Copies of this chain bind each other. A is one copy, B any other.
Amino acid sequence: MTNAALIEELKTLVEPGKVLTDAPSLEAYGKDWTKHFAPAPSAIVFPKSIEQVQAIVRWANQHKVALVPSGGRTGLSAAAVAANGEVVVAFDYMNQILEFNEFDRTVVCQPGVITEQLQNFAEEKGLYYPVDFASAGSSQIGGNIGTNAGGIKVIRYGMTRNWVAGMKVVTGAGDLLELNRDLIKNATGYDMRQLFIGAEGTLGFVVEATMRLDRAPKNLTAMVLGSPDLDSIMPVLHAFQSKLDLTAFEFFSDKAMAKVLARGDVPAPFETDCPFYALLEFEAASEEIANDALATFEHCVEQGWVLDGVMSQSEQQLQNLWKLREYISETISHWTPYKNDISVTVSKVPAFLHDIDAIVESNYPDFEVVWFGHIGDGNLHLNILKPDNLSKDEFFAKCATVNKWVFETVQKYNGSISAEHGVGMTKRDYLGYSRSEPEIAVMRAIKAVFDPNGIMNPGKIFN
């Protein structure tokens, strides 16, 4: 069958107008937020039901057509990029919240429900969907599950994994599986729901997900603390974690702070200049908790771990303190930074970070390194800014060398080359730094179980 005939057949499987092949659509739906791979899909198909998804997968198996899932297209690892003539399956028209149960605190979502849509729905019900990150306004639940999205509240609430009560998936073989049936306790064999979470669409498509909600947080309160060195951040985390249930523990360097303050639209938290800052958040549900927080702060100052600090006294102050952290990424994008999202266990963060700093410093003394991240989860965002006197090409050529050093150091510390952004195509060739050969071999074999013809997002995670 010719390519054109295939697309005509595909059109019969969905509603009229729900297969697009025009150039702007192919360009828009063929990529995510990464820029390394040129989008080149052969068509975009928009199913409106589980049955249509199954029909598409059966069709793809019959004709050995590769499929790429597409959600909010905010991914950062090129897992949702179609660069090789694949058919993109976009879930934009499966975007409804189907059901809410107040006793189970669950919401049945179609995969195209936007993260923010679920967050707002929860809020209307007096509840809370706690997975939150910069792209929550565009990212979709199906994509969140595919990448096991994390973000800024993981220290308290965990990743997306923790909030998936159950899901329906269409496997690469076209089977519809109802995984876990939304139960809290279910000891009936392998929990395959867990395999699909973080599988980046390589095993099948998530076609429905039941998400759990939590009670709404009470009186969220933030502190920004300045520390004399990175090593001090660890005992600070430890001291606060022993006393409070932290909802966030972020960190950023003086360089990150300086860039954000230079914007002129965010007030400085305090006067003292410090090389490192921590932003922590907790529910000040009672006066005792607020007092515990202040006492812990004073203890940290006495120990010399903290030089200065501030605690939010209002919703407005809370927002302003968060801006110090949340504006970093956007602010430094001006310097076209080399970015890497990596993790180690929390206790190894200082040594790991010193190692990377020393490597970059000794090899590229002109490079400005900006660190920030979810240090309470061991998740660091490494950013190296392009010096003005280097062209983009020269800069990125040098960064390719940096990549190798970073991953070697990750391996030395037994860490992860991708903390929360996934592997996709951008880190595929580096997977061996974090997963052993037998592990990768097993992953390939598991893929073959669910996707015998290799049609589901091929070339992502591994080749």
Residues of A within 8 A of B (CB): 101-106, 126, 147-148, 150, 154, 158-159, 161-162, 171, 175-179, 181-192, 194-195, 197-200, 215, 234, 237-238, 241-242, 245, 285-289, 343-347, 374, 377-379, 414-423, 427, 431, 434-436, 438-440, 442-443, 445-446, 449-450, 461-462
Contact = CB atoms under 8 A, between A and B. Distances in A.
Interface centre among A171, A187, A414, A420 (most CB of B within 10 A): A187
A440 B449 CA distance: 12
B423 A101 contact: no
Contacts of A190: 195, 198-199, 443, 446
B443 A446 contact: no
B242 A189 contact: no
A189 B436 contact: no
Contact of A183 (B104, B105, B343): B343
A281 B460 CA distance: 46
Nearest to A444: B449
Nearest to A242: B215
B183 A345 contact: yes
Contact of A148 (B182, B187, B285): B187
Given A104-B347, A442-B177, A191 B197 contact: yes
B187 A436 contact: no
Interface centre among A186, A245, A343, A435 (most CB of B within 10 A): A186
Contacts of A421: 187
Nearest to A158: B162
A416 B188 contact: yes
Contacts of A161: 191
A442 B431 contact: no
A145 to B, nearest CB: 12
Given A188-B423, A285-B288, A436-B177, A103 B238 contact: yes
